[in-house]
Amino acid sequence: MEKVIDCPQCFDTDKCFEDVQEEFSSYLCFNCGFMSDSRYEVGSLKLIDSLKTTPQLVQDKRFVDSKRRIVWFPAVINMGELGMIFPEGVKDKGDYVWKYAKVVEIPEDLRKQYDNYDKRLDIENAKTFKSNEFLQACQEMGITKDIK
């Protein structure tokens, strides 16, 4: 079951969602782009294990939701064939932008350079969105329709 919640990061009241599963809840704010999971309780093994493979920028931007006692992070959204949305740091500013990278076909004559794959994530030509434009990145990807 999905329900709208007040975002503890940006305080938006209509674009932050909790998806209640049987054993946990996941959270995503389409306004600020932060996400969490009820299993990311402060000090939990799930959180500690997750931090081991989390990029430094995402770790640096994390914050504790004092109401739920869970940690929130900038989201990394991987939608397979649709591509990926991820945060990228802005050098010398201590800030970040959102990047949306599409999946592109690899020309047959270049596939050996890519372990014979026929598609790849086009990070080099990723579209850039300001840190407050996460929803626009999602719209560009085509995963949101009815959010204002």
Given a cut of 90, is residue 146 above it in pLDDT? no
* Half-sphere exposure in the Cβ direction for 54 (13 Å, CA): 22
Dihedral angle at the C-alpha atoms of 43, 11, 24, 42, nearest 10 degrees? 0
CA distance linking residue 121 with residue 34, whole number of Å? 22
Element (H, E) at 80: none
- What are the residue boundaries of the structural domains of the chain, listed by start? 2-74, 77-141
- pTM for the whole structure: 0.87
Q: How confident is the model at residue 38 (pLDDT cuts 50, 70, 90)?
A: very high
Q: Give the type of residue at 121.
A: L
